[in-house]
Structure 1
Amino acid sequence: MSRIGLKVIEVPDNVTVTKNGNDITVKGPKGELTRYFDPRITFNQKDGEIQFTRSDENDKALHGTERANLAAMIEGVEKGYIKKLTLVGVGYRAQAQGNKLTLNVGYSHPVVFDVPEGITVKTPSATAIEVEGISKQKVGQFAAEIRDVRPPEPYKGKGIRYEDEYVRRKEGKTGK
């Protein structure tokens, strides 16, 4: 039995959830998100609570996934999501200007990203990046793309890492 899928979603007063066919739209103070939901999972809304039910026992994984996706949409339009990244390395720096993010991370050239629509990028310091938005998927994807430019390496710990990420360090070679 899907335990996540059976959980009830509480809808805050400042958020509205509407269904149009298989598309569910969530509107809140930070914006609006629309997503297609699988027709095998039914959506029931009453008294500020939403519950999903499945028609077949073979759809257990989908049941939990769809419930988690809607819960993430509601949280996104109400509070938003933020991912913080840190640059570790001598001379590593980031700079956000408009809808461009420029990274200098030890390559012979700067790496320039176009910031996707619906996402804002801030650089509070030269070695910190904050990716914000209402879509959990878009924020996480863009943060992962930034991290992939120079993932942290285990010997010196240099690279781009999430703020709360632990990089396991290895001992280097020893000479005789």
Structure 2
Amino acid sequence: MSRVGKMPITVPQGVDVKIAADQITVKGAQGTLVRAANGLVSVKQEGAVLSVAPANESAEANAMSGTMRALLANMVNGVSKGFEKKLNLVGVGFRAQAQGQKLNLQIGFSHPVVKEMPAGITVTTATPTEIVIKGADRQVVGQLAAEVRAIRPPEPYKGKGIRYADERVVIKETKKK
């Protein structure tokens, strides 16, 4: 059995987990997340502990048990604490401004770029060069951060662009004659 799949998930106080035949719902302070149940995996709740086990002895079910356990752990973590990604803007005149559910970016193009935020995601800008994306769903937060970064990824010669807060950009040396 998968090493990750064997580990139990402890459900913190204030988080409600409902396991139905076709879907698993996790509700907490940060919101509600729903995931379709997989037929290869059986999920059981005993008190404040969730356990995941493969439904049969196939390699597919074994692999899916580890995957499902990680997804459920992320759901429980997301509705209790939430997830966040931090982005930095590097470049002269590069600015970001959060306006409700929109992110307004001025990043060296001839026009401002406006990015809509999906429901359940909040975006804040503490300074004009910092963007913080927060939400309960880890996958959505990470995907949205990647989409914002892809608008102007850091270039290798000066390092200008949008980068993750913990990202190191390796600067290339310019051509010599």
Whether TM-score is above 0.5 comes out as: yes
1:22 is matched by which residue type in structure 2?
Answer: D
CA displacement at 1:56 relative to structure 2: 2.8
Three-state SS of the structure 2 residue aligned to 1:64 is helix
2:45 is matched by which residue type in structure 1?
Answer: Q
Specify every segment of 5 or more residues in structure 2 that has no aligned partner in the other structure, as ranges. none
Q: Quick one: distance in 2 between partners of 1:48 and 1:101? A: 39
2:108 counterpart residue number: 106
Question: After superposition, where does 1:145-160 map in structure 2 within 5 Å?
Answer: 145-160=147-162
| 1:139 counterpart = 2:110 | no
2:59 counterpart residue number: 58
1:14 counterpart residue number: 14
Three-state SS of the structure 2 residue aligned to 1:148 is helix
TM norm structure 1: 0.96
Q: Quick one: distance in 2 between partners of 1:12 and 1:44? A: 16
CA displacement at 1:157 relative to structure 2: 0.7
Q: Quick one: distance in 2 between partners of 1:169 and 1:38? A: 45
The C-alpha deviation readout for 1:68-102, integer Å capped at 9, x for no partner, is 00000000000001100000011111111111111
Question: After superposition, where does 1:56-95 map in structure 2 within 5 Å?
Answer: 56-59=57-60, 60-95=62-97
CA displacement at 1:126 relative to structure 2: 0.7
Say which is worse superposed, 91-100 or 72-81, in terms of deviation: 91-100
Specify every segment of 5 or more residues in structure 1 that has no aligned partner in the other structure, as ranges. none
TM norm structure 2: 0.95
Which consecutive segments of 4 or more residues in structure 1 shift more than 3 A?
none
Q: Quick one: distance in 2 between partners of 1:53 and 1:89? A: 50
1:18 is matched by which residue type in structure 2?
Answer: K
Q: Quick one: distance in 2 between partners of 1:26 and 1:65? A: 17
CA displacement at 1:26 relative to structure 2: 0.6
Q: Quick one: distance in 2 between partners of 1:57 and 1:8? A: 21
Say which is worse superposed, 73-82 or 1-10, in terms of deviation: 1-10
1:34 counterpart residue number: 34
CA displacement at 1:22 relative to structure 2: 2.0
The C-alpha deviation readout for 1:19-51, integer Å capped at 9, x for no partner, is 121200111111111110211100011131111
Q: Quick one: distance in 2 between partners of 1:4 and 1:22? A: 23
Q: Quick one: distance in 2 between partners of 1:11 and 1:27? A: 11
Say which is worse superposed, 111-120 or 166-175, in terms of deviation: 166-175
